[in-house]
Amino acid sequence: MRIVIAGAGEVGYSLATSLAPNHDVIVIEKDLSRFDRVSELDIVAINGNAANMKVLKNAGVEKADVFLAVTGDDEVNLLSGLAAKEVGAKRVIVRVENPEYVDRPIVKDHPLGYDVLICPQLSLAQEAARIIGIPGAIEVVTFSGGKVEMIELQVMEGSKADGKTVAELNLPPNVVIASIYRDGHIEIPRGDTVLRAGDRVAIVSKTEDVEMLKGIFGPPVTRRVTIFGAGTIGSYTAKILSKSMMSVKLIDSNIERCEALSSELDGVRIVCGDATDIEFLIDEEIGKSDAVLATTESDEKNLLISLLSKNLGAKIAIAKVEKREYVKLFEAVGVDVALNPRSVTYNEVSKLLRTMRIETLAEIEGTAVVEVVVRNMKLVGKALKDLPLPKGTIIGAIVRGDECIIPRGETRIEYEDRLLVFASWDEIEKVEEIFR
C-alpha cells in the first residue's frame, strides 16, 4: 500500500518504522530535527506543512491508499485530512487532542468525510474508567462487535485466585482464561495450572458475564476513587464514573478549573490542592482509596502521586504516561497500570491497516492479539494443531455463536468461528494471509 503520514512525532515515527518494511511510506514533517530523524528510515521524507496543498500533492496524496494525520496540531490534522480526502486518498485517519472536535473516543465515517477520527485523551479516559470498574483489570478490549470482551487482570496477593488452579476457580462456561503472562513469557494455562500473585491473565468472556469476575482476581468491588488532574482525561473519567455507585473525588491545583467543573460534574467531589503534598494527601484520606488515577500533565508527577498514594494505602494506582518508553518503567516500580494516549492512536491505525479477516487488534505485554473470522473454506473442519501458524503463535479462545470455547489442539474450526490469536507484531500479516 501507499501510505502518507503527516507528522513524524512519536506516533508518526513509530508508524513509519513498523510500516516501512512492507509498504511505500511517505512522511511529511515540518520540524527539521524530526525530519532528519525520520529521513534515516527506508521511507520518502518531505519537509513541509501537511496542511499546504502543494506539499500534499508533492507527497502524492491523490494516489494514497491511506492518509494518516498525526501531527501535534489538531487544525493541521483536520485540514490536511479534508484536503487528502478531497484530492483522492482512499482512507483518511485523523488524530485530534481537543475533545471539542469530537464527542466520543473514536468516530468512524465522520460526516465531514474522515474514515476514522481518534481522540486519544477520551479513549484513555474510557479505558481508565473500564479498568477501575473491574478491580484488578489492566486492560479491557471489546471483540465481536461488543459481544465478547478480553480483560487482562493481575492476580492480586490474597485474592481468591491466588494459589488456586484454573479448575478450582469454577469460572462460568463462557469465561475462558486464554493466556497467562508470567516471568516475561506468555503461556496457555491448563486446568491444573496454579495461579500466583503477580500473574497477568487474559480472560475472554461474554460481555454480560464480566461482572462475575469481580472479586476473583482483585478486590471485590471499587467504592472509592480519587482522580488527580482535572484536565480532559481526569474530568472525562470522573464524568463516566459519576454514573456508577462509586464515590469519586477529583483533585487539581488550579482553582479556576476546579470552580468551572464543580457545576459540570454532578456527584463528583472536587478538591483544590497540591497532589504532591504528603500532608494534603493524608488529610484527604487518599490511603483509603480503592483506586487512584494520576492524569496530570507531567509523567514524573504522575509517578510520584501514584507511589505516594500506594505508600499511604491506596489499593490500585493507575497513571497516564505520555512517553511510551516509560510504561514498563512505571509498572516495574509499583504503578499497577500505566496508560499511554499515543498507544491508542497507534493501535487503532494498525487495526485499520491490517485489513482482510482481522476484525480487532489489541496488545498484551508486547504481543498482538487479533480476532480473525474463519471464512476460508480450506480451513473449515481442520484441527487447530494442523493450522500452519507461525512459530510461537497461540490461539487463546474461540468464539462460536454465543459460546466462548477453550481451544485444544484437536478442536476443529467451523465457518464463521472467531479466533483470538496471540502473535508477535511482525507475524500479524502471516496470520492474516493464512485466513485470507
Identify the band that residue 139 occupies on the pLDDT scale cut at 50, 70 and 90.
low
Average pLDDT of the segment spanning 364-371:
74
The full length of the chain comes to 436
Q: What digits encode the pLDDT tens for the residues 369-406?
A: 888 889 889 999 999 999 988 887 888 888 888 787 87
Residue 170 has pLDDT above 90, yes or no: no
Predicted confidence at residue 29, as pLDDT, reads: 97
| Range name among 79-88, 301-310, 343-352 with the lowest pLDDT average | 343-352
3-class DSSP assignment, residue 358: strand
Strands across the sheet with 291-294, in order? 268-272, 247-252, 224-228, 291-294, 316-320, 337-339
In CATH, what is the architecture of 224-343? 3-Layer(aba) Sandwich (3.40)
Q: What digits encode the pLDDT tens for the residues 261-313?
A: 998 898 899 999 999 999 999 999 999 999 999 999 999 999 999 999 999 99
Identify the band that residue 154 occupies on the pLDDT scale cut at 50, 70 and 90.
confident
Identify the band that residue 357 occupies on the pLDDT scale cut at 50, 70 and 90.
very low
> What is each CA distance from 44 to 12, 28, 180, in whole angstroms?
13, 9, 41
Per DSSP, which regions of 144-246 are E strands? 148-154, 175-182, 185-187, 200-206, 224-228
Using alpha carbons, select from 404, 400, 428 the residue that is nearest to residue 416: 400
Using alpha carbons, select from 218, 214, 223, 221 the residue that is nearest to residue 158: 218
In CATH, what is the architecture of 345-435? 2-Layer Sandwich (3.30)
Indicate left, alpha or beta for 19 from its phi (over 0: left) and psi (-120 to 50: alpha). alpha
Domain spans, the chain: 2-118, 140-213, 224-343, 345-435
Identify the band that residue 61 occupies on the pLDDT scale cut at 50, 70 and 90.
very high
Residue 236 has pLDDT above 90, yes or no: yes
User: Has domain 140-213 been given CATH number 3.30.70.1450?
Assistant: yes
Q: Which residues is 339 bridged to in the sheet?
A: 320
Residue 350 has pLDDT above 50, yes or no: yes
Average pLDDT of the segment spanning 164-170:
90
Average pLDDT of the segment spanning 6-20:
90
Average pLDDT of the segment spanning 194-206:
86
Residue 157 has pLDDT above 90, yes or no: no
Predicted confidence at residue 353, as pLDDT, reads: 67
Same fold, 140-213 and 224-343: no
Query: What is the bridge-based pairing of β-strands 358-364 and 367-373?
Result: antiparallel
Measure the CA–CA gap between 282 and 135, rounded to whole angstroms: 23
In CATH, what is the architecture of 2-118? 3-Layer(aba) Sandwich (3.40)
Predicted confidence at residue 144, as pLDDT, reads: 64
Query: Is 305 in contact with 228 (CB distance < 8 Å)?
Result: yes
Instruction: Provide the mean pLDDT of the chain.
Output: 87
Residue 254 has pLDDT above 90, yes or no: yes
Query: Is 261 in contact with 237 (CB distance < 8 Å)?
Result: no
Q: What digits encode the pLDDT tens for the residues 183-199?
A: 877 887 888 999 998 88
Predicted confidence at residue 429, as pLDDT, reads: 74
Q: For the chain, what percent of residues have pLDDT higher than 70?
A: 92
Residue 148 has pLDDT above 90, yes or no: no
Identify the band that residue 356 occupies on the pLDDT scale cut at 50, 70 and 90.
very low
